[in-house]
Structure 1
């Protein structure tokens, strides 16, 4: 009987996977042919950014790209605790958490009539939709277009939050799980549109390693030996294999752009996850507190403000 379980599971979710595979590509094609424009406006209750006051330049902008649980502007898998902890611990940063990494149209799933019905009657489709979007973003046939769409969405949200192109202010993309695929793919678009130095932090990052990181300032890989989901990504995608030395990921490794920061014994999800507020370390800190401290320490070390920086429209005298 146990041998039949995988087959039964596949038969159960197979139709959903097929439907989601088609829907994920459909949204990208709708964007590509211009049938629908992206949704740049935010709801009235969602600010363009939180953290550092808008009347002065922050030390850096941090964009949080959540995992596949992202469905609306405000939700995250942990109820926003990681973003709130970063804001509380580093008030000098301006933080954006509203980007829709799994929608080329920047349109949240929640609020669409069809998806609201599915959420009530077949909730697994919401999960599978974002899973399939991650694979569309990784697919070499769709990757350039997906990167341009979501990279452009991030650039627009940064402008709305006060980012001045050419200012030299660092942009940090913090990608959790599948959000890492989107973060790595957005580097070129941000460099092109904003001329911004882009730092990457992946937290349990699930990505294919095929995106060009030439214009990334650097990447920190926050990982754990107990994170089997991230480990699947390193084995699933050939560009992550050491054998392919000329892949973009291996080029970045060879150039010294990738640094590993261990967060053992955290898991990818669940009560022992990277962002668990209840799981405790030997020093008494929660996993959430340690992860927050690691992110803030990296940003402060790598994104120090330049005292000689000239903001657009200003002069240093």
Structure 2
């Protein structure tokens, strides 16, 4: 077993080294303003789907996919979860095009270098987004990464019709490593949109260091069979209960985090949270149950917890004053 591990490490070593060096490159370009983030989408990609854009929806939902995200349209399950949410909750406006692993808001697909790598060394696409997740979690780069992707989400929401200060609920639904990006985007979204904000993580892989003060609640959809999420909880000290003053543990202590068990789902594979073929005892697929859980949270929990516009404005004013002191 040790020999197999050593061979795998030697084989992946050059790719890991290259990605470790390149993963910060895009963030640095963003930081020094050598390149501006892409704003407009291709003509065939809508800014949002679902509820009629001519009137305010009940809520906006932004889906932040896991590390398989390479283009505007692809997702881990081919878009099944997003389509199921739209079909089950037509009152929502849903955005699925955000690039959580690109500070410049550019998909990997379509870049000449990455297209070549996909044909000749496809594993580098996987490693790229993995390394971007760790860049987003790195305390040296986290503030910059959070600002970049948070600004990207805010821009896409405005283009989809979201009006800052409108009080319309905003939900960030994230899968796997998308949770690192979602928790990191909270502060920038609050700054730009003053939106009542909820987070739903699905098998969330994140370091627990991002401030959740401006999130009204976080719903953690998990499973005892999800070993990848457990790795994240054990890998990052801020997720350990001993680190009581971490952002994650402060949110836990304040009652801001609620867990929903989706056993026996796994993180990936034919038994995953978003599997359309794996069946529960009641006949529903794992995808059906996950979709219903997400919709129930948005329809019931978010509506009962939403602050009044006056209360939200007063809260925002107090926080603005606090930061200026």
Taking structure 2 as the reference length, the TM-score comes to 0.93
CA contact (8 A) 2:196 2:307 kept: no
CA distance in structure 1 between the partners assigned to 2:23 and 2:71 by the alignment:
17
Q: Residue 5 of structure 1 corresponds to which residue in structure 2? A: 4
- Aligned mates of 1:110, 1:5 — CA distance in 2: 32
In structure 1, how many angstroms separate the alpha carbons of the residues matched to 2:157 and 2:236?
Answer: 31
User: Residue in 2 aligned with 1:146?
Assistant: 145
Q: Distance in 2 between matches of 1:159 and 1:179?
A: 21
Describe the superposition over 1:174-227 as per-residue Cα deviations: whole angstroms up to 9, x where unpaired.
010000000000000000000011100000000000000011110000000000
Report the secondary structure of 2:174's partner residue.
strand
- Residue 56 in 1 paired to residue 47 in 2? no
Answer yes or no: is 1:180 the counterpart of 2:196: no
Paired with 2:151 and 2:309, the residues of 1 have a C-alpha distance of 25
Taking the aligned partners of 1:231 and 1:307, their CA distance within structure 2 comes to 33
- Does structure 2 retain, via aligned residues, the 8 Å contact 1:238–1:244? yes
Contact 1:59/1:304, CA 8 A, preserved across alignment: no
> Matches of 2:167 and 2:236 in 1, distance apart?
34
Q: Deviations over 1:37-61 (max 9, x none)?
A: 0001100110000000001000000
Count, aligned residues: 309
Aligned mates of 2:111, 2:120 — CA distance in 1? 14
1:20 match: 19
Shift of 1:309: 6.2
1:100 equivalent in structure 2:
99
Query: What is aligned with 1:252?
Result: 251
Unaligned 5+ residue runs, structure 1? 311-317
Asked if residue 224 in structure 1 is aligned to residue 216 in structure 2, the reply is no
Q: CA deviation at 1:302?
A: 2.6
Q: TM-score, normalised by structure 1?
A: 0.96
For the Cα contact (< 8 Å) 2:167–2:309, is it kept in 1?
yes
Q: Runs ≥4 in structure 1, deviation > 3 angstroms?
A: 305-310
